[in-house]
Structure formats: C-alpha cells, structure tokens
Amino acid sequence: MHYTGTIWRPPYEAESLLLEVTAGCTHHKCKFCTLYQDLPFKFRMTSLEDIESDLLEAQMYFHDSIGKFSRKLFNTSTHDDCRVFLTGANPFVLKFKFLKSIADLIYKYFPKCSSIGCFARITDITLKSDEELLDLAKVGYNGLTIGIETGDDNALDFMNKGYKSSDIITQCKRLDEAGISYSFFYLAGISGSGNGEKGAKITANIINKLNPVLVGINMLTIFQTSELYKEIQKNNWFEESEIEKYSEIRTFIKNINIETIVAGMGASNAFQFHGMLPNDKEKLIEWLDKIINSIDEDELKKYRDNLNHL
C-alpha cells in the first residue's frame, strides 16, 4: 500500500479501509497544527494508478464488511457492505472528476462498498457546485469529518484557519441539502486563556444551526515546533489551564441543543468520554464537574506535557 508519513484518521474510522489519495494539507497554515510536519512537501495527490494498485492489494486482506462502526454511525450499514476512508488532511479538495474517478475504482474492486469518507476543510466545500455535491452523494461520498475547531471568529482569524464562522454555516447547509452527512472536530482551548467559555457558547450556537452526526472534542496540545508556540514565547497568546479546558467543554456541551453524539476519543483527552445529546447531557455535565472539582491541575498538566505526539 502507498502510505506516506503518519496516517491520520478519526477514531470511528478504525475499521474502515484506509486508502491514500492525498498526503499533506493544502492549507498547512494553522498555527497550532504539527500533524504533517514529517512530510518533505506541503501537499501531494496520489495517481489513479497507485490508487488502483492499492485497491487491488487491499482485496487480498479486506472483505466487504469492513468499517462496521462508521457505517452504523453514518446510517449506511447493511450486512454485506463496506466503508472506505480516503486519507490525507483534506482529500475533499480534489476536483469533482477526480473524486468521481476514485469512487469508480473503489466500486470496481469493492462492488459492495456503501460509502466513502474523508477529512475535509470548509474551504474544500466551496470549490464544489451544488450539482457536484449532489453527484458526489449519489456515488457514495458520506460522513465527512470536518475540523471546524471553533466558531469563534477571533480564534479562527488568529489561528489562520482560512475561513469564518459564517462559512461553516453556509457550506455545511449545502452538505445537508446534498445529503452528505458530516462530523465535526471541536478544539477546546483554541480561544486562549479567559476566552474558552465564550468561544464554547459561540461554537455551540453555530452547531445548533447544523446537523453534525458527531462532534469530536479534542483538547489543544501545543508542541514546540508549532507556530502557536512561537506566539506564546512572544506573549501574543496565552494558553488555557487544563481545568479551564474542561470548564470550556462543560459549557460547550451544556449549550448544544440538537440531537448529536459528543465524544472525546483522541489521545489529547486525558479522560475519554462519549454520549448522545440531549439524553446524556446531565450525565456528562456531572462527570465533567467531578473532574473540575477533584482533579489537580498539575496532574492534568503532567499528562499534557508527556504527550510526545497526537
């Protein structure tokens, strides 16, 4: 298989067939991100020849029922289908015709495949017409994972995300209209010290206007090779304490009023959790209160400092 560098995928795609179609990130400017620093280039597409070669090889190791968990999550599950997850920071940036060609190859080698997912940036969606989004849904693109990080425009601007909160609403509503489901990543701590709960409320209000299947909550971890670390050294930005981050998550969950799953499943979370809103809201808030009121800040900071890599 043609895999380049560290392969990142959402926790819920663990059972999916991971197919490399891009490597790196087209944006590659977010101040907090170090995920693709092991690559000697910014972004690269995989050729259709290499993609077909990988699918041919994958046939020897995978069967048609792969990706059970994510198929169930995105409501595409039957007893004999499969799920493919395209790897790279934002494969959805690829042109419509290329994404369609990838789908054609997948169905050639995995004819019972029911859905194709990938990471996507908000700006990737803007590149597709409404008609193209509808056609991509028809050929199986579903369950995109979008790292919106926050709806706080001040944080989005400072972190150089490349879009505004209004873009999140506009583009995700287009996905809703096309029938392409999606999940979000929310990054606790991104608004900085003293601003976390405000940012949480803003983000929750934006999410309440949309229909994410799941909101994955991660906690900001700052590595010394990041641009954000340089900003901290210049006193241009101040990090939230660990307790602040948990208070932010509490506020975030408290203010979400749509039906969705919330989950903290990644390594950035010292305590992992998941629940269905609104049914599990009070249980999650009670659990967060116990952490906030009983876990020592130094203990939580020690966990953060010992994270060598996400």
For the domain that residue 11 is a member of, what is the CATH number?
3.30.750
Contacts of 51 (CB under 8 A, 6+ apart): 19, 20, 21, 102, 105
Examine the domain organization and report whether 97 and 214 are in the same domain. no
R_g of the chain, CA atoms, integer Å: 19
Confidence (pLDDT) at 78: 52
Q: How far apart are CA 84 and CA 292, in angstroms?
A: 39
Give me the residues of the chain with pLDDT under 70, please: 63-66, 68-69, 76-80
Confidence (pLDDT) at 79: 46
**Pairing state between β 43-45 and 22-24:** antiparallel
Examine the domain organization and report whether 225 and 276 are in the same domain. yes
Q: How far apart are CA 37 and CA 60, in angstroms?
A: 32
Owning domain of residue 55: 1-141
Examine the domain organization and report whether 165 and 44 are in the same domain. no
Among residues 125, 141, 157, which one ends one of the domains?
Answer: 141
Confidence (pLDDT) at 76: 64
Q: How far apart are CA 255 and CA 261, in angstroms?
A: 14
Confidence (pLDDT) at 265: 92
Confidence (pLDDT) at 80: 53
pTM given for the model: 0.95
Examine the domain organization and report whether 66 and 92 are in the same domain. yes
Among residues 141, 173, 208, which one ends one of the domains?
Answer: 141
Examine the domain organization and report whether 97 and 171 are in the same domain. no
Examine the domain organization and report whether 137 and 187 are in the same domain. no
Number of domains in the chain: 2
Examine the domain organization and report whether 188 and 285 are in the same domain. yes
Examine the domain organization and report whether 150 and 129 are in the same domain. no
Examine the domain organization and report whether 88 and 230 are in the same domain. no
Confidence (pLDDT) at 66: 67
Structural contact between residues 100 and 135, judged by C-beta atoms closer than 8 angstroms: yes
List the alpha helices (DSSP H) in the chain: 48-58, 68-73, 96-109, 122-126, 130-138, 153-158, 165-178, 196-207, 227-233, 242-255, 281-294, 297-305
Among residues 91, 121, 141, which one ends one of the domains?
Answer: 141
**pLDDT digit string, tens, across residues 99-149:** 999 999 999 999 989 899 999 999 999 999 999 999 999 999 999 999 999
Examine the domain organization and report whether 136 and 203 are in the same domain. no
